[in-house]
Structures are given as C-alpha cells and as structure tokens.
Amino acid sequence: MNRHILALVMLWLMGSWLLAEETAVITLASKKGTVLVWEAAGQRWVELPVKSQLSVGAYVKVEKDSEAIISFGKKAVVTLSENTLIQISTCLFQQGNLKQVRLKSPQGRIWSVVEKLASPEAKFEIETPNAVAGVRGTVFLVGYEPTAEASRIAVVAGEVGVSSKLAEGYVILKENMATVVVANKPPIPPQVLEERERQEWEKWKQSIPFSEIGLVGGVAEINALQTQEAARQVREISLARKGSEKVRQDFESIEAAILLYYADTRNVPRRLKDLMENPGVPGWKGPYLGAGTNFMDPYGHPYQYKILKTPRGKQYLELSSFGLVGAAGETRGEEKKIIFVETLKESLKKKLEETGRK
C-alpha cells in the first residue's frame, strides 16, 4: 500500500513539474548599430552583443540609426526601431509554450511576430504609457510618441485587442487595421493600415532570421484576400457609423412628428405613413414631416414601427433599423428607439402649460 501511495505521489510531482512555469530563453537575435542593456550593478548602459541572453526585468535601448531583433523562446520575436526603449516585464512559458509575455515601452516603435497562443489564458502584451495591446498570434506594430502622448497600434495579420490605460474603451483590430490612443482618450475606431506601415513591415520582414529563431515563416505573410477582407470590414464599419448617425437624426424627427400628431389627434399613428397622409383620424393637420419623407433607413430598408405594451401594460412605440448587412453576413449599426405614450402625454401637457404662460 505504501509503495502505491509513493508511486502516486511521484506521478503527481512529475505532473506538477511538467506543468510548472519556466522562463524562456530571451535572445538578442541580431542588431544593427548601437543596442544597449541597463546594468543594474554598475548603474550604467552597456553594449549588448548579438546572441546575448536577456533576463526578465531587463531594459533594452536602441540608439539612433540602430535596430534590434529579440527572440522569446522561439515563439515570438520583436523588432525594435531606432530610439526605442523597452523593459521585459514578464516572460513565462509552460511546457515549451508561451504563457505570458509583457513588454513595457515608454518610447519607440516595435514590430512583433507571435505564433498562435496555445491556450485562451496565454497572453502576449505590449504596454505603452497610455495603452495596452494584447494578441492571440499575429503580426503587429506598437509605437509611442512621448511628445504627442500618442500610441499607434497597427495589425498586418491576426487579431489585436487594444485598450486605454487611462479611459474606458476597447477595440479589436483585425488584418490591415489600426487605431490610435491619444493621452487619456479611448482608442479611436479602427481605420485602414497606412501604406507606409505595410512597407515598413515588408522591410523588417527581410531582416528577421526566421530560420534561426524557429518561427514559421508563414506567420509573417499576408495575402491579397486578407487585405481585401480587412478593407471590406473597415469600409462597412465606416458606413454603419455614418448610417447610425443618420438613423438617430431620423428617429428624432419622427419622434417630434409623432408628438405633433398626438397633440392634434390625441392618438398615436397606427403606421409611420399616417404622419404624411391623412388616415381619416379627427383632428389630423399633417403632413408632419417634410415632403419626400419615405421612412427608409440609409441602407435602403424601411424603418420598422411597432405599437407594443410592457408586461405591466404600459403602451410604447418602437422605432428600429435593421442596420447594414455586410458581404459576409454580419450586421452592423442596428438602432432602436423606444417612445412611451405616457411620455408623449407629459410632453404635450408641459408644452400646453408653457403656451398658457406666454
């Protein structure tokens, strides 16, 4: 019995050892010009030779007209442009797979290539003074300009989540998308990757020694179909954003017309068309909207109008737009407005009281 218990304990210890966290080998794979590492003991910057290994907590500085390429356990690689400073804040692996890497960069530009992470809990993040970019396996750029207090994150392949450290806001970037975080503002909506950034990546790609580092070269590639898909998504997001603003303006105009209709008839319209054409209701003095109103949303679909009741019996009107249905079937820009009939009564009463005081 004791032998069985001992065997079980040994198996458990072996399993725990296999699952234990380990620090990956972090290596300066190549460099051009002057690349320095902070020497804590001597309190000074010293030259960092190629093939040197770096430890967690290390600060690396790339001087003017210089470049550096750093490998993380042959699962990720970062390229540091001139005038870039980073700290390797965290680097943990588990069973040879990347578990958590976090880099802090108070200035400069970093291109990263990360193999697909092995588990949902795994993280590869780059932090600037005002933003955090986290990836699931991708090719992306993180840059920070201290003078402008601006972070720019651009994605060539894969997916990156970007959040502001100083304000609420989160965006997901896919292939060929970019965002900017300025000062204490949230990330701006995704925009198209700039051509100069694509060219910058193409230049960097030629200098990364993928064969030595071990990363699959394919992770660094992006094809024309990905470019077209990213451009389509950005275009549809832009159309939906503009459409949503138009829908909200239309809903405000329709709500104002419904109030006028209610003031004249003491009823709500059975359909939106009743705001333009006399439905035979006593007191109707329309039309209540401008000529040419067709109640169509910006995407070519009719606005939806319903008269409904809450579970407690309160009557309300529901205006809605189905939004933009994209080429891949996704729906963007759905909008809905609720108007309680009780609110119409209160608005009319208030208006009559103000008129009576004049």
**Is the confidence at residue 355, as pLDDT, over 80?**
no
Can you give the pLDDT at residue 345? 84
Q: Which amino acid is at 222?
A: I
**DSSP helix/strand/coil, 227:** helix
Query: Which residues sit opposite 104 in a β-bridge?
Result: 87, 127
Can you give the pLDDT at residue 122? 87
Can you give the pLDDT at residue 118? 78
Q: From 93, 29, 30, select the one nearest 56 (Cα to Cα).
A: 93
Do strands 97-114 and 123-127 pair parallel, antiparallel, or not at all (unpaired)? parallel
8-state DSSP, 76: E
**Is the confidence at residue 257, as pLDDT, over 90?**
yes
- Residue 341 and residue 338: Cα distance in Å, rounded? 10
**Mean of the pLDDT values across residues 12-27?**
57
Can you give the pLDDT at residue 192? 86
Whole-structure pTM value? 0.57
Q: From 36, 110, 136, 26, select the one nearest 71 (Cα to Cα).
A: 26
Burial 296-331 (b: 16+ CB within 10 A, else e): ebbbeeebebeeeeeeeeeebbebbbebbebeeeee
Is the CATH code 2.40.50.220 the one for domain 20-222?
A: no
At residue 225 the predicted structure's pLDDT band, cuts being 50, 70 and 90, is very low
Can you give the pLDDT at residue 324? 73
Can you give the pLDDT at residue 60? 96
**Is the confidence at residue 237, as pLDDT, over 80?**
no
In contact, 295 and 316? CB cutoff 8 Å: no
Q: Which of 184-193, 202-211, 218-227, 247-256 has the least mean pLDDT? A: 218-227
Residue 8 falls in which region: left (phi positive, over 0), alpha (psi -120 to 50) or beta: alpha
pLDDT greater at residue 22 or residue 137: 137
- Residue 234 and residue 332: Cα distance in Å, rounded? 11
Order of all β-strands in the sheet with 315-321:
304-309, 315-321, 335-340
**Mean of the pLDDT values across residues 23-33?**
86
Can you give the pLDDT at residue 208? 80
**Mean of the pLDDT values across residues 46-66?**
94
- Residue 339 and residue 158: Cα distance in Å, rounded? 42
In contact, 122 and 99? CB cutoff 8 Å: yes
What does the domain layout of the chain look like in residue ranges? 20-222, 244-357
Mean pLDDT of the chain: 83
**Is the confidence at residue 219, as pLDDT, over 80?**
no
Q: For the chain, first and last CA: distance in Å? A: 98
Nearest 10 degrees: Cα torsion 88, 146, 136, 202: -100
